[in-house]
Amino acid sequence: MIIDIHVHPFYHETKILNEMQMAGVDRGVLLGVDVDPLDVDKPEIKKKLRKRYLTAGYGFHTLRFASIEDNIKHFYETLIDYYPELKTSNQEIGDLVRRNPNKFLGFGSVNPNKEEAYVQEKLEQISDLGLKGVKLLPTLQLFSPIETENFKRICDYCEKNKKVLLYHTGCDPGPWEIPELSEDANPKYLEPILEYYSPIIILAHFGSYSAYKPGIWFNEAIEIGKKFDNVYFDSSAVSSFVFRQKNLKRIKEEIGLDRLIYGSDYPVVWGSSMKYEVDVIKGCKLITEDEKENILGLNAANILNLAPY
């Protein structure tokens, strides 16, 4: 069994199914994303973005527009024009799963910046649609896990309803390649929340995604994993970093490979594919065949309550 825990439905379902077949992937977890570029205009978010950008030392001369928030909004508009499916609704994810119940699983999404009633409605929708989890991105959704009360509500919901929380860690494309702007996606900020809430949480990209600083918050991710056994990790977009001998040895010794999960981030990573990411794991000489089987599917099947086959 091979389960891809991290798939974006940017293409028609037939193309995704063909990609899965070529890679030998049995089940793909499709991810919703609930983002709103207008959140950039909120005074507290503007203030935070400006402060962090100036702290980074880049200066306004590097901006295309007058302010960092205008640049982020422009990036959003361009991204959504190119990938309109970026804003994939919970209903759309539910429909894809309903049409392909033996191939797809779904994670919904909810924007923590919205009102409490909005968040509650989205969480109820996730339950009604039978989706398996919730996808959050502190980068594109512009929220702080320690300052946003709705994040606590989402963690509480996931814990009580046995939903998996897939949480982006590391940098992100565009302006979020600046580490200071992606700071909220540093795994260390999850610690005070996980002291009180215990959902099954997967740290997407193992805290390590960065085009310019690969492994940027790998150490912080390891430390969170050591403190909380409900924390898992996916290798999406960072397999070339995670499966290096030094890093894999550390994961195995300090956390255990039973909490490492295969994900492709398909089709986001340029030049990659589901098959490439599967082959990285299958071809890794540092792990046993049993460990490969666990990483590729059984670890995910365990937290998703799927019977192995």
Band (pLDDT 50/70/90 cuts) for residue 60 is very low
pLDDT, greater one: 308 or 282: 282
Tokens found for residue 137: 């991105």
Tokens found for residue 165: 């929380």
Helix (H, G, I), strand (E, B) or coil at 298: helix
Taking the model in full, what pTM does it have?
0.95
Is the pLDDT reported for residue 184 higher than 60? yes
> Percent of the chain at pLDDT above 70?
96
Task: Count the alpha carbons within 13 Å of 40 in the hemisphere toward its beta carbon.
Answer: 21
Which pLDDT does position 54 carry in this prediction? 85
Give 166's strand partners: 135, 202
Cα of 216 vs its chain's centroid, Å? 15
CB 263 within 8 A of CB 5: yes
The amino acid occupying position 67 is: S
Is the pLDDT reported for residue 189 higher than 70? yes
Over residues 222-238, the mean pLDDT reads: 98
Sheet containing 164-170, strands listed edge to edge, beginning at the edge strand earlier in sequence:
3-7, 27-31, 104-109, 133-136, 164-170, 201-209, 231-234, 260-261
Helix (H, G, I), strand (E, B) or coil at 254: helix
Band (pLDDT 50/70/90 cuts) for residue 55 is confident
CB 33 within 8 A of CB 11: no
CATH numbers and ranges of domains, the chain: 3-303 (3.20.20.140)
Tokens found for residue 255: 């956390």
What is the full DSSP assignment across 146-213? TT-HHHHHHHHHHHHHT-EEEEEEE--SGGGGSTTTTGGG-GGGGHHHHTT----EEEEEEEEE-SSS
Task: Count the alpha carbons within 13 Å of 159 in the hemisphere toward its beta carbon.
Answer: 15
Helix (H, G, I), strand (E, B) or coil at 265: coil
CB 136 within 8 A of CB 168: yes
Interaxial angle between packed helices 116-128 and 149-161, expressed in degrees from 0 to 180 and rounded to the nearest 10: 20
Write the pLDDT tens digit of every residue in 142-172: 999 999 999 999 999 999 999 999 999 999 9
User: If we measure between CA atoms, which residue out of 97, 126, 95 comes closest to residue 27?
Assistant: 97
Burial class (CB in 10 A: 0-12, 13-18, 19+), 206: buried
